[in-house]
Structure 1
Amino acid sequence: MHGQTAEVQGTRYSPTRIRATWDGTGSVEDASRALGFSRAKGYDLVRRGEFPCRVLRVGRSTRVVTASLLRVLESGEPEYNGAHAGRCTPS
C-alpha cells in the first residue's frame, strides 16, 4: 500500500504534471513535497532564506515560483532565493 501512495505522489509532483497544472506560483507545501521533504521543513527553509527555489512573499502569503521549482527538479541544483541578507550572487 505504501508503494502505491509514493507512486501516485511521485506522479502528482512530476515536472510534466507541474507544468500542466500549476500557475506561475505554487504553495510552499506542494513545492516541498515535489522536492521530497515535509511542509514543516519547507517553511523552515523559507524562514532561513535557504529554500532551494525562488520564493515570493506577498503580504502574509509565501509562494514558490513554478519556473524555479522546475529548474531545480530537472537540474538537481538548488537555486536559492537571492533575497537572503548577507548573500551575494556572483556575476
Structure 2
Amino acid sequence: MHQESKEPSGPRYSPIHIRATWDGTGSVEDASRALGFSRAKGYDLIRRGEFPCRVLRIGRTTRVVTASLLRVLESGVPEYNGTHTGRDTS
C-alpha cells in the first residue's frame, strides 16, 4: 500500500495546484510549506525581511503574494520585499 508523501513538492504545493486553487494571496503557513520550511521559520524570515516571496501586511494579517510565490518556485530566485522590519540599522 502506497502512502501519500508529505513532501513540500507534493501535489498540494505544486505550481499547477497553487495556480488552480489559490487566490491572489496565500497564507504564510501554506507558502512556507511550499518552499520547504515550517510556518514558524516562515514568520521568522518575514520578521527579518528575508522571506523569499513578496509579503503583504494588512493590519495584523500577513499574506504571501501568490504570483511571487509561483515565480520563486519556478525560478528558484528569491523576491525579497526589501524591507527589514524589526532590525536595528544603527
| TM-score of the aligned structures, taking structure 2 as reference length | 0.85
Residues 1:7 and 1:38: Cα distance change in structure 2 (over 3 Å) = closer
For residues 60 and 72 of structure 2, what CA distance do their matches in structure 1 show?
25
8 Å Cα contact 2:8-2:34 kept in structure 1: no
Aligned-pair identity (%): 81
For residues 8 and 36 of structure 1, what CA distance do their matches in structure 2 show?
5
AA matched with 2:69: L
- Output aligned runs, 1:9-24, within 5 Å: 10-24=10-24
Residues 1:36 and 1:8: Cα distance change in structure 2 (over 3 Å) = closer
Displacement over 3 Å in runs of 4+? none
| TM-score of the aligned structures, taking structure 1 as reference length | 0.84
Unaligned runs of 5+ residues in structure 1 are 87-91
- Counterpart of 2:32 in structure 1 is 32
- Name the count of aligned residue pairs: 86
CA RMSD of aligned residues (A): 2.3
Higher helix share: 1
